[in-house]
Chain A
Amino acid sequence: DTGVSQDPRHKITKRGQNVTFRCDPISEHNRLYWYRQTLGQGPEFLTYFQNEAQLEKSRLLSDRFSAERPKGSFSTLEIQRTEQGDSAMYLCASSFGQGQETQYFGPGTRLLVL
């Protein structure tokens, strides 16, 4: 049973550039979540999908952020026109669905915007 994987693990970019992160959930999990974690803080919810449908978005997810899960399997999170304040760890998690409430996390993508 492979866990949640994320790619890349680290990304350094210049302000104003676009970046895209990928998350592959545990294969039988139909729910996928994105969180953001800044230094010294707990993760903050960004958005989640049930299958391919994006069902909830946090107000933290500005219009520069977009997430997709086109076939209900892997997901991508894109940040356009990056800002220094976007520097954080971006965590992906997945779960089996209602009745199985535990979310399993990937290793994260650490983004540094210069």
Chain B
Amino acid sequence: AQTVTQSQPEMSVQEAETVTLSCTYDTSESDYYLFWYKQPPSRQMILVIRQEAYKQQNATENRFSVNFQKAAKSFSLKISDSQLGDAAMYFCAYKEDFGNEKLTFGTGTRLTIIP
């Protein structure tokens, strides 16, 4: 079974600085998708960024970028120029390409932004 591990229960970063959240996963599949979702306090989960495993290029979305290391099964999220609104729980998630539609989530990292 696929597993997703987020080893940092909590992280904090000074406003305007850069922070990296780590995620590792275990799979025997070669084609799959990886996601980072953000869940602000008492608000709904929203997609931050996604990566297709067949793409070698790391995904970027404005201040958010990933470091996808397929051989190492690592998928870290870098947030540049951190803002107060980035404070949230961040979940890493995995999905197979075919035949299994469920997302498998990690346990999350709570990110605090220090003004």
Contacts and interface: CB of A to CB of B under 8 A. Distances in A.
Interface of A: 3, 31, 33, 35, 40-45, 48, 55-56, 58, 91, 93, 101-108
Main secondary structure of the interface of B (DSSP, over half): strand
Interface string B1-40: 0001000000000000000000000000000010101000
Interface of B: 4, 33, 35, 37, 43-47, 50, 91, 93, 95, 100-108
Which of A43, A45, A56, A108 counts the most chain B CB atoms within 10 A? Answer: A43
B105 to A, nearest CB: 3
B110 to A, nearest CB: 9
B45 A33 contact: no
B73 to A, nearest CB: 17
Contact of A42 (B33, B95, B100, B107): B107
A41 B102 CA distance: 16
Contact of B104 (A45, A101, A104, A106): A45
